[in-house]
Chains A and B, each alone.
Chain A
Amino acid sequence: MEAPQYVAARVQQALAEDTRTHELGIHVDVRGDQMFLRGKVSGAEQRERLGAVAHEAAPGLRMHNEIKIVDYGEPGEDEHLD
């Protein structure tokens, strides 16, 4: 059986290199027959694509897509550099 660390590395590599995603900052954890994806992206479509690519890379695992969608909204407060 492939060690879970290698499975996680393979999935992470797929998320970075697959042309549908190219996402470098997603954390992948494999525990038993479960896989957890964590991180932040700017849209629901990208989260769905990441889930699909991860599932293809490790189809035998039950996936939990915990990636958070962040809305960058308004500019926020200015900082004065004296």
Chain B
Amino acid sequence: MSILTDLRIAAAGDLHLGEDARGSYRERLKGIEERADVLMLAGDLTRHGTLEEGRVVADELRDLPVPAVTVLGNHDYHSDLQHEIAAVLRDAGVIVLDDDGVVIQCGDSKLGVVGGKGFGGGFAGKCASEFGEREIKDFVGHTRQIADAWRVALKEMQVDRRVVLSHYSPVKETLEGEPLEIYPFLGSYLLAEAVDTAGAELILHGHAHKGSEKGLTPGGIRVRNVALPVLGRAYAVYCLNGG
């Protein structure tokens, strides 16, 4: 039986870096290798999803002293250049998840990170379902496909610990502070259900700027909303304790 060492995850989301923000976030990442083993970013890296903004983000994250993993958010999709932005980030050495997973060797342990943008639909008992107009079926079906992909990716991973990275929220606890009326556009319980089924130690998300940092899935997995306006700091550090 292997003994796990502590794993320190630096996390932030919703950086919304415009072209005027060049250099601003990099400055805040100075010394990150002293504080964390890996950096995870929960999407909305850009403001409008332009390629120029994507290049700004890539330069901010290029050649960091710790591995950087990210997903994209709805803002990064706005200009229909999400694939190009992902390519620019990958060229800068950033791991970009798109409903798949990656294994990172952190000290003696293998960390599996699964995730993607996620999507909305609402939360159990108060959510949209795949019924009626094609547009509604497509909306809910999109989230369901994403949740299924995460479930499969988590189950297939041969790793010591698993973390899920999303833009949209899997639970409503971390939306507290947002207007109730927009919850269905902020996340979906299908994401939490998939992760509860397959297992993980932590789920990180962004998107809900007025939400709250801490929540739990129905299965007891810790959820953290790491959107910068929620954190109020450059990034959070979560330590998964060794066994």
Listed in ascending order, the chain A residues whose CB lies under 8 Å from chain B are: 19, 22, 24-25, 40, 42-43, 45-46, 70, 72-76, 78-82
Contacts and interface: CB of A to CB of B under 8 A. Distances in A.
B234 interface: yes
A25 B236 contact: no
Contacts of B201: 81
B167 to A, nearest CB: 13
Given A24-B209, A72-B228, 19 more contacts: A22-B47, A22-B78, A40-B229, A42-B228, A46-B18, A72-B28, A72-B231, A74-B28, A74-B234, A75-B10, A75-B234, A75-B235, A75-B236, A78-B8, A78-B237, A80-B239, A81-B201, A81-B239, A82-B241
13 contacts: A22-B48, A45-B20, A72-B233, A72-B234, A78-B237, A79-B238, A80-B239, A80-B241, A81-B201, A81-B202, A81-B222, A81-B238, A81-B240
Contact of B229 (A46, A70, A73, A78): A70
Contacts of A81: 201-202, 222, 238-241
Contacts, number: 66
* Interface size bracket, B side: 20 to 34
Please report whether the interface of chain B is mostly helix, strand, loop or mixed according to DSSP.
Answer: mixed
A24 B75 CA distance: 10
A58 to B, nearest CB: 21
B142 interface: no
A25 B16 CA distance: 12
Interface string B199-234: 001100000011000000000001000001101111
Contacts of B35: 75, 78
A76 B238 contact: no
A43 B229 contact: no
A22 B47 CA distance: 7
B21 interface: yes
A43 B48 CA distance: 16
